[in-house]
């Protein structure tokens, strides 16, 4: 099984709010034996700290880097209305994402030109980047993410296996086509 390394933002300014993707990670773990590491992040320093930890060799069994945040075009949103751009993330991950897939469970983050996403893949070395091109309903997108995280377990993470993964993800995405506008760009397009 391919582990999931999840970083989650704060969903609501009211800290009593309990929304989190951690229950889906626990469900995948208990039902499919998919291991995961989970941390919440609210600052640039926390993102950079946990992402740099993920790049260490001892976490190589967690090739799915999953960002669960609020988002906007080309950015994830942190607390206090701060943002973290895909440019900054590509710089942080430069050359460190071999045989990995990066998922943005964040509204509109991938509402950008495909050539920019290909540059992101080139810089990071990731097999694929995927996420939403519009604002999405939290419950529907979270359920969809659970399905794709599960489907990603069926094939090897390699240049050869990425086509099968892409087909499975795109097949699931078609079922939610109008509602989610999910996209996946893979390294085979480099």
List pLDDT tens digits, range 90-106. 999 999 999 999 999 99
pLDDT digits (tens, 9 = 90+) for 33-85: 999 999 999 999 999 999 999 999 999 999 999 999 999 999 999 977 899 99
Res. 26: pLDDT tops 90: yes
Rg (CA), the chain: 15
- To 5 degrees, how large is the angle CA 40–CA 44–CA 49? 65
| Range from 63-77, 104-118, 141-155, 166-180 carrying the lowest mean pLDDT | 166-180
Arithmetic mean of pLDDT, 22-38: 96
Name the nearest CA neighbour of 110 among 173, 154, 153: 173
Domain spanning 4-189, CATH class: alpha beta
Percentage of the chain beyond pLDDT 90 is 81
Work out the pLDDT band at 190, boundaries 50, 70, 90: low
Res. 180: pLDDT tops 80: yes
Tokens, residue 15? 């800290």
Task: Indicate the average pLDDT of the chain.
Answer: 93
pLDDT digits (tens, 9 = 90+) for 118-141: 999 999 999 999 999 999 999 899
> What pLDDT is recorded for position 77?
95
pTM of the model: 0.95
Res. 175: pLDDT tops 90: no
Work out the pLDDT band at 116, boundaries 50, 70, 90: very high
Instruction: Parse the chain into domains and list their residue ranges.
Output: 4-189
């Amino acid at each position: 099984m391919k582990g999931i390394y999840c970083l989650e933002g704060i969903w609501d300014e009211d800290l009593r709010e309990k929304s989190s993707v951690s229950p889906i990670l626990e469900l995948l773990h208990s039902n499919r034996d998919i291991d995961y590491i989970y941390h919440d992040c609210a600052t640039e320093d926390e993102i950079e700290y946990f992402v740099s930890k993920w790049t260490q060799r001892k976490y190589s069994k967690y090739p799915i880097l999953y960002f669960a945040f609020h988002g906007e075009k080309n950015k994830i949103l942190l607390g206090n209305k701060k943002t973290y751009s895909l440019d900054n993330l590509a710089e942080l991950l430069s050359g460190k994402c071999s045989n990995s897939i990066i998922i943005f469970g964040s509204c509109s983050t991938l509402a950008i030109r495909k050539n920019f996403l290909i540059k992101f893949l080139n810089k990071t070395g990731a097999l694929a980047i995927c996420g939403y091109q519009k604002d999405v309903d939290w419950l529907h997108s979270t359920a969809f993410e659970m399905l794709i995280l599960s489907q990603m377990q069926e094939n090897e993470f390699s240049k050869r296996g990425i086509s099968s993964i892409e087909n499975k993800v795109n097949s699931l995405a078609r079922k939610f086509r109008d509602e989610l506008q999910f996209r996946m760009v893979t390294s085979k397009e480099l």
